Each structure stands twice: as structure tokens, then as C-alpha cells.
Chains A and B, each alone.
Chain A
Amino acid sequence: MIFYSDNAVMRQSAIYTGFILFVFMFVQGCALYKGDRVSWDKFHVDEFPDFASVIVRPGDTLPSLAKRYLDDPDKSWVIADFNDITAVTAGQEIIIPLEPFDMANLSPQGYQTVPVLSYHNFSETKQNLMMVKKRDFERQMKFLKDNGYTVITLDDLFDFLEYRAPLPRKSVVITIDDGWQGVYDVAYPILKKYNFPATLFVYTDLINGSRKTLDWDQVAELDKNGIDIQCHTISHRNLKKIKKNESFQEYVKEIEGEISESARVIKKKINKDVKYLAYPYGDTNNLVIAFLKKNGFRGAFTVKRDSNPFFMNHFTLNRRMIYGDFDLRDFKKNLKNYSNKALH
């Protein structure tokens, strides 16, 4: 009894103490809360998004500032592009746009364009038009890294094309066609080293695991590790041309099959829903595009050598083929990211 009485008092006292502690912490919490993270740095522009003016503190970097102000360290390019800088130093005064405001870097003088590079095969030692030597590919990727290019995914590109999200000014997309073994042996390790995403457009007949071609396990592995697998038809037939002795109806049936069946095979083999296609030989026509739309594709690529502004037709996007005999000077010519052509 005695014991219990003592305990009841102690318990009561503990409850009171806990309550006081809670109230103290709650009130202190209120007292310590100082509103939004950049309330005094932030100012509002009536018809434009918010910006923050910032004096860089010791230890700050572009990613750390992007993490603090934009909640995403990968958005450091927003700060770099707006201030036209590549790094920050303590004491430096900068402006940080807190919301996207410039969808296409469009002015009366020009607009942003995005180059989409197109590779086919790679080799340790050999080179021809469609086969890039390991040493050259490494140099090209190093050039992109060293010169401030951001390699983006196709999803990023399409957000830009739909005028929904801005991109780093020096953006570039890497695509590879077909599905040769050189992709796995040569390009994949280099892309991994530089942490660059890429898209592999496979034509499913080629994925047969012969000595020179990929097998589906490799394709699945690539897809899980930053190489987005997309569609390049079943047999790589030219979708625009009717074959000799082929009726129009047979042709239509064939091209529908090339599109829908290749998507089905990829889904079955690696459980992936594809939404982009690279036309074999870069050739297309309205009928092919109609079937792509019917099958839910978001866009498709030709091999017309040009970069892509935001107002491009999503089903006739340009790509720049990178040949095996390109030196770094040729490669640089294919990274054009600004144009004024449509404004003249």
C-alpha cells in the first residue's frame, strides 16, 4: 500500500514534469521558428517568379546553394546559368531564381536548342563510320564533362520540348542505336565513369546474344543502370518505303507490327514501357507517325543533322550522327545549343 501510494505521487509528479517539459519545448519551438528559410533574402517580382539575393558563405558550393535554396543539389545549373558562373567563392554576391522562369532561353535574338547525339557501335581498337573507337569516345565524354555540358535524359528533353521545364543552357542528349556488343563492352563503362545517362534504341531482332550483339540480360542490366532502353523497331526496316512486291495493305500491316510488336517484346523481355522511337535510317512519314501516336509514343527521332528547339515536332526530332572518323573538332561542331534561324 505504502509503496503504491509513493508511486502514485511520483507518477503524478512525472506527468507534471513531462507536461512542463512539453510546454517548454513547444514554446521554444515557436520561438526558434523564424519563418521561411530565405524570408529576408527573398523578394517577390509582380509578374515574374521569386528570386533570392545571396552573399556566398565560406564552404558554399553551387550544389550546396542549390540544395539550400532549390531543395535539389542537381539544380546547381540554375544558379550557374543565371549568374553566368561555373563556381562560387566566399563573399560573392549572386541572385538565385527560386522558380523556373525561362523555359527556352528565348529572346528576340535567339533561342536555346538541344543537340541529340547518335552513336551506333564502339570498339576498343577498330573504327569506321558507324564504329567509334574507345579512345575517341572517352575523349568526347571528357570534353563534355570538362566544358560544362549537362547530359540529360529523353524525359528531360521532352519536358523542355513541351515548354514545361527549362534545361541547362549547355544540355546534350546521348543516344545509341541498334544493340551491338560494343555498347556494353566499351560505351557503358565510360558513361558510368562520367555518370552520364544515355538512351539505347534497340531493334529487337538484333538482341540475340551472338558474339557481336547484346543479349536481353545485358539489355536489362543497362536499363537498370542509367541506359534507358527504347524502341528502334523489330527488324530495322525502312518504315517509309514500300518494298517491291509488297501491297499497300501489307506495308501498313508490317509497319504497325514493327512499332507495336517491338514495344511488346521489350515489355516482355525487360518489363519496360517504351515511349520513344528512333526511325531506322531516320526515315518516316505521316502514316508511321499516326501508328506511333496510336501506340502511345511520346516522340521519335530522325537523323537530320541539327539541334532541337522547343517548338520542334516531337515526331521528327533531329539527331546528329557521330561518325567513327570524327576528331574532337568535328565533335564540337555538333554541340550547337543556341540558334536564331527561325527568327529571320
Chain B
Amino acid sequence: MTVFSETKVKPPDMAKRYCRLIIQPLCSVSLILFLVLFFNGCALRFPPPEPEKKTYRSLPDKYRNKALEHEQKGRLREALIDWRIVQSFQPHDYQEISAKIKILQSKARRKAEAHFQKGVAFFHNRALQDARREFLLTLSYEPDHTQALSYLQTRLQKPVFRTYVTRKGDTAGKIARKEYHDPGKAFLVTVFNSISPSDELRPGMSLKLVILDQDIVSDSKFAEMMPQKGGVVTKPLRHKKKAFAAVSRDKAGGKTSRSVQKKESGSMADALKYQKAKDLLEQEEHFESLRILRTLDRNYRDVTKLIASTEVFLKQEADAHYRKGISYFLSEKLDMAIQEWEEVLRLSPNHLQAKKDLRNARRLRQKMKNY
């Protein structure tokens, strides 16, 4: 109660006392603490203490060797990166490496520029493959060479459109007659330029004209495989590959003609066989390719031509092996000669001379073994 009454009588005194005894010293202490920690913090932050440097045992030597190897192979960009890595380890020859880096940089720049100039010259002479090679080499020495990149990504690509600037009196029809030699192709002018046929074309407008390929022509062989309008097959089934879908629809209650399915499946099978044979040729599996080509109709696409060229190739290969066999035989390497002639017969089973020589060689080898 006394306490209550005391505090009740003199509340401001008590608060002052509290302030004097607790808050004020606390403030002073906190200010000091703040200043100490602040400067301590700043000391750590600006700049942070240099941590203990790690010791790398293998990296400096590894990248030094790589740099030398890349330099030898002419891979200057990789060599530069490698030398920079070596330099970061503060080696004893830091200054020498710096000088080397400068030399390599200027060498790479010179090489890039030389290849770029060559590329431009090839490009203007329409030697596009050579131009591409030179621009690639430019980028290999200077990966950020924007001009070389631009040639590779745009100017060396087959163009899809060309620009036509309209003249006085031009209409879509006139442009089509002039550019496509067919006024009926006026819709091609309008469709890619978002204009309508009746639009008046102001002189000086830039129009995009699609460059038509020469081979947009009706392919009769292909067309023959297409189901015709009014036939059993309806519009969604207009493609040969739809044969697969047709089978499933038929099972589900559809009315797809079996004969059309058979015809389309046959066409599809031929297309697949043909593609497979061509793939095998690209993979240099000539023998297997020839086997598949022979199962196709000779009139299908260029099958006759492919068979002929593959047979010629195999015959040439067989002759080369036959000659090798003779050479081994004359130098008394009987086993090698037999191997070559066996290869001849694999490539050309009817090679009479190889058959005869192989028979003789085997007989001779047997005799030598018996002797």
C-alpha cells in the first residue's frame, strides 16, 4: 500500500529515477556498442579480409600443358583461355605469360579477319561452301564476330522471299505476270503482304515475293497413289499413310475399302523400303541396301538408277579387293590373299576369276600345311 501511495504521490520522480538509473546508462552503452560494432563491421565489409589462398597442386601444370597443346594444334581461343587460367595462379613467369597472351590475342584477331575477308570474297563469287568454311573459321578464332555469324545465319541460307519495290501502275496481277510469268499467281503477292487484290499499290512499297522452287510440279507417280475424289475413301483419308488409321477405323465399324487399304499399305511399304535403302546407302551398307532395292518395283522412283550405281560401286570394290589379293599372292602372303578374295566373293558372288584363284590358293595352303 505504502509503495502504491508513494508512487501515486510522485509518479514523475519515479520515472525520472528509472530514466537516470537504467535507460540513460543503457543508451550510452548501446551507443558505444553500436559504434564499436559498426566500425568493426565496416572493417570486415570494406574490404573483406583476404581468405587464405588455396594451394592448387595440379591445375597450374595441367592448364599449362593444355595451353601448349592447344597452341600447337592452332586452337588459339582455347590456348588463350588456358593461359589465362595458368596466369591466375600467379606463377613465377607471370609477365612472360602476359606477353604470350597478348601475342596470341593479336594472332587470333589477325586470323579471324583474314578468314572473314576470304569468306566475303567467296560469298561474292557465289562459292557458298567455301564462304561458309571461312566464316566458321572466323568464328573459331573470334566467337563474337557478329558479321561472320550474320553471314552464316542469314546470307548463306537459302532465301525464301525476295523484296520487290512497286512502281507506278503496278497491281498484284501485273507483278505476278512480271515476276512469276503467270498473272494467276497474283494471290501469292497478296497473301504474303496482307493486301487485297483490289488494293491500289503506291509506288515505292516493299513487297515480299516468295521464291518458288522449280520442283513444284505435279508428281504423277505420287498422285497415282492418292485416292481420288468420289472414290470410296472420303476426304480425311486422302493420304497414303492414312492406311494405318483406316484399318483401326474399319475395326471400329467404319466402311473403309479393303482394296484401297491394301493399295495404300503397299505404297506405304514401298516408300518405307525405299527410304530404308537410301539410309543404308548413306551408312555405306551397300549390300543390304541393294537387297532391299531389288525387292522394289524397278519403276518406283529412281530404284533402277540406285540399283545400277550400287552394283557398279560393289563391282569396283570387288575388283579393288581382287587386285589386292593378287598382290598378296605374289608376295607369298597366302592367308591375306585368301581373305581378300573371300571379300571379293562376298561383294560379287559371281566373280569367276576370284572363285578360281581362291580355290587354287586354298589348295596350295593345304599342300604347304601337309608338307
| Cβ-defined contact, B245 with A205, below 8 A | yes
Among residues 43 to 93 in chain B, which have CB atoms less than 8 Å away from a CB atom of chain A?
Answer: 44-45, 47-48, 50-51, 53-54, 56-59, 62-63, 73-75, 77-78, 80-81, 84-85, 88-89
| Cβ-defined contact, A287 with B4, below 8 A | no
Give A236-251 as 1s and 0s: 1 = Cβ < 8 Å from B's Cβ atoms. 1110111111101101
A residues near B222, Cβ cutoff 8 Å? 238, 241, 243
Asked if A19 is at the interface of the complex by the 8 Å CB criterion, the answer is: yes
B residues near A313, Cβ cutoff 8 Å? 157-158
Instruction: Given the known inter-chain contacts A93-B56, A305-B279, please indicate yes or no for A106 contacting B143, CB distance below 8 A.
Output: yes
User: Nearest B residue to A315 by beta-carbon distance?
Assistant: B160
- Give the complex CA separation of A32 and B48 in angstroms: 9
What secondary structure prevails in chain B residues at the interface with A? helix
Contact of A102 among B14, B53, B143, B212 (CB under 8 A): B143
| Cβ-defined contact, B218 with A31, below 8 A | no
- Give the complex CA separation of A305 and B277 in angstroms: 12
Contact of A27 among B38, B50, B57, B242 (CB under 8 A): B38
Interface-side segment among A71-79, A192-200, A221-229, A288-296: A288-296
User: Nearest B residue to A36 by beta-carbon distance?
Assistant: B48
Interface-side segment among B132-140, B305-313, B340-348: B132-140
- Give the complex CA separation of A222 and B166 in angstroms: 49
Instruction: Given the known inter-chain contacts A34-B48, A48-B84, A342-B133, please indicate yes or no for A243 contacting B223, CB distance below 8 A.
Output: yes
| Cβ-defined contact, A16 with B149, below 8 A | no
| Cβ-defined contact, A242 with B160, below 8 A | no
B residues near A286, Cβ cutoff 8 Å? 158, 160, 210-213
| Cβ-defined contact, B77 with A235, below 8 A | no
**Chain A interface extent, by class:** 35 or more
B residues near A268, Cβ cutoff 8 Å? none
B residues near A111, Cβ cutoff 8 Å? 136
- Give the complex CA separation of A293 and B192 in angstroms: 10
Instruction: Given the known inter-chain contacts A30-B44, A35-B48, A40-B51, please indicate yes or no for A236 contacting B241, CB distance below 8 A.
Output: yes
User: Nearest B residue to A320 by beta-carbon distance?
Assistant: B279
What secondary structure prevails in chain A residues at the interface with B? mixed
User: Nearest A residue to B229 by beta-carbon distance?
Assistant: A245
Asked if B350 is at the interface of the complex by the 8 Å CB criterion, the answer is: no
Asked if B300 is at the interface of the complex by the 8 Å CB criterion, the answer is: no
Interface-side segment among A132-140, A141-149, A150-158, A206-214: A206-214
A residues near B40, Cβ cutoff 8 Å? 27, 31
Asked if B316 is at the interface of the complex by the 8 Å CB criterion, the answer is: no
| Cβ-defined contact, B238 with A235, below 8 A | yes
User: Nearest A residue to B8 by beta-carbon distance?
Assistant: A2
Among residues 30 to 85 in chain A, which have CB atoms less than 8 Å away from a CB atom of chain B?
Answer: 30-35, 39-41, 43, 45-48, 51, 53, 55
Asked if A201 is at the interface of the complex by the 8 Å CB criterion, the answer is: no
| Cβ-defined contact, A40 with B218, below 8 A | no
Among residues 124 to 177 in chain B, which have CB atoms less than 8 Å away from a CB atom of chain A?
Answer: 129, 132-133, 136-137, 139-141, 143, 149, 152-153, 156-158, 160-161
| Cβ-defined contact, A235 with B216, below 8 A | no
Asked if A252 is at the interface of the complex by the 8 Å CB criterion, the answer is: yes
- Give the complex CA separation of A304 and B245 in angstroms: 25
Residues of chain B having any CB pair with chain A under 8 Å = 4, 7-8, 11, 14-15, 18, 22-23, 26-27, 30, 33-34, 37-38, 40-42, 44-45, 47-48, 50-51, 53-54, 56-59, 62-63, 73-75, 77-78, 80-81, 84-85, 88-89, 105, 129, 132-133, 136-137, 139-141, 143, 149, 152-153, 156-158, 160-161, 184-185, 187-188, 191-192, 210-213, 215-220, 222-224, 226, 228-229, 236, 238-239, 241-242, 244-245, 247-249, 251-252, 271-273, 275-276, 279, 282-283
Further 18 A-B residue pairs, CB within 8 A, beyond A27-B34, A48-B80, A238-B222 = A5-B11, A16-B26, A17-B26, A24-B34, A33-B44, A35-B48, A53-B89, A55-B56, A101-B143, A236-B241, A244-B218, A245-B223, A246-B218, A252-B188, A285-B212, A286-B213, A305-B283, A311-B136
Pick the 4 closest A-B CB pairs, nearest first. Answer: A244-B223, A30-B41, A27-B37, A212-B248
